[in-house]
Structure 1
Amino acid sequence: MDIAETPGLWEFLSSLALGERLSGRVASIESFGVFVALDDGPAHPVYPGVGFISFAELAWQRFEEATDIVRVGQRVTCEFLQFDTWNGEARLSLRATRPDPFQTFADDTRIGQTLPGRVTKLVPFGAFVEVAEGIEGLVHLLELAWTPVETPEEAVRVGDQVRVVVTEVDRQYRRLVLSRRRALPPQL
Structure 2
Amino acid sequence: MSEPARDPRMQSLINRLQPGPVRKVKVLGFDGADVMVQLSDAERGATEIGRIPREEASMRRVGHPAELFEVGQEIDAEEIGRWREGQLHLSARACEIPALRSFLLAFERGQVVEGTVAAVHNFGVFVHVDGEPDGLRTGFIRVPDLTWGWINHPAEAVEAGRRISAEVIIAETRTGQVTLSMKALREDPLIRFADQVGRVLTGPVIKIVPFGVFVQLAHEVMGFLHLSELTDEPVETPDHLVEEGELMTVEVTEVDLRRHRVRLGAVGGADGTRRTGAQ
Q: Could you say if the C-alpha distance between residues 80 and 153 of structure 1 is closer, same or farther in structure 2, counting changes exceeding 3 Å?
A: closer
Post-superposition CA distance 1:78-116 (Å, at most 9, x none)? 11111112211111111111222222222x312x22112
Indicate how the Cα distance of structure 1 residues 81 and 129 shifts in structure 2: closer, same or farther if over 3 A, else same. same
Aligned residues: 179
Q: Which runs of 4+ in 1 moved over 4 A?
A: none
Deviation at 1:26, TM superposition (A): 1.1
> What is the TM-score with the length of structure 1 in the denominator?
0.82
- The correspondence of residues 28-107 of structure 1 with structure 2, limited to 5 A, is 28-43=119-134, 48-106=136-194
Structure 1 or 2, whichever has the larger Rg, is 2
- The match for 1:132 is 218
**RMSD between aligned alpha carbons?**
2.3
Q: Secondary structure at the match of 1:129?
A: strand
Q: Which residue of 2 aligns with 1:180?
A: 266
The structure whose RCO (Cα within 8 Å, separation 6+) is larger is 1
Q: Which has the higher strand share?
A: 2
Give the Cα separation in 2 of the matches to 1:60 and 1:178: 18
Distance 1:7 1:23 in 2: 22
Report matched runs for 1:134-149 at 5 Å.
134-145=220-231, 147-148=232-233
Give identity over the alignment, percent: 36
In structure 2, runs of 5+ residues without a counterpart are 1-59, 61-92, 274-279
Q: Which runs of 5 or more structure 1 residues have no equivalent in the other structure? A: none
In structure 1, how many angstroms separate the alpha carbons of the residues matched to 2:125 and 2:177? 12
Tell me the alpha carbon deviations over residues 109-133 of structure 1, each in whole angstroms, 9 at most, x when there is no partner: 12x2211222223333222211112
Q: Which residue pairs with 1:162 in the alignment? A: 248
Q: Is the 8 A contact 1:143 1:182 kept in 2?
A: no
